[in-house]
Amino acid sequence: MQQTSAMTQHLVTKQKQHMQYTSTQATTKSEVDQTCGAYKLNVYPHCRGAITSVEWSHHESSILATCASDDQLAVWDLALERDPEEEAALAADTNALAPADLPPQLLFVHSGQHNMKEVHWHPQIPGMLVCTAEDGFNLFKPANL
């Protein structure tokens, strides 16, 4: 892990099994996949503010939730990859294209709270999240989880 220490000095860093999630003050999201000593780095730009909380799902090993100072909570599935063929087939059926800058790993975005500070997964109810903010807290379960 010495190779990533410079990246994680003043950041939020969480690790689960073979994946590590790191958020820099430059508001990038990274997944470090450690396989046989090799590091694979994926960057998922989405947030416009500093990440205030990161938590891996208790029920799905590749899913994590983040909240940031841009007043958004995001749920990510780091096992997903962009599939241009599938997107083209769906676009023909639904007459809709996903924006090119939308990461395929982004599953859900929750906003509406001011100054979000923490996000946590419910330990017994799969997909249930709680988010704390300056103006209260929300409990919710996204329909796509």
Residue spans of the domains in the chain: they are 2-140
Nearest to 26 by CA among 8, 54, 48: 48
Which residues, in sequence order, are bridge partners of residue 77? 63
Using one digit for the tens of pLDDT, what is the confidence trace for 75-125?
999 888 877 787 777 776 766 666 777 788 889 999 989 999 999 999 999
The number of beta carbons lying within 10 Å of the beta carbon of residue 24 is 17
Residue 60: the pLDDT is 92
Percentage of the chain modeled with pLDDT above 70: 61
Of residues 18, 56, 52, the one with CA closest to residue 37: 18
- Asked if pLDDT for residue 40 goes beyond 60, the answer is no
Question: 42: pLDDT confidence band, cut at 50, 70 and 90?
Answer: low
**Which 3 state secondary structure label does DSSP give 39?**
strand
Q: What's the residue count for the chain?
A: 145
Tell me the three state secondary structure of residue 40.
strand
The residue with tokens 């990510």 is: 76
- Count CB-CB contacts under 10 A for residue 69: 15
Which residue type is seen at 116?
M
Superfamily for the 2-140 domain: YVTN repeat-like/Quinoprotein amine dehydrogenase (2.130.10.10)
Asked if the model's pLDDT at residue 17 lies above 90, the reply is no
The C-alpha R_g of the chain, in whole angstroms, comes to 16
Query: Has residue 134 got a pLDDT over 60?
Result: yes
Chain segment 54-83, per-residue pLDDT in tens: 999 999 988 999 998 889 999 999 888 877
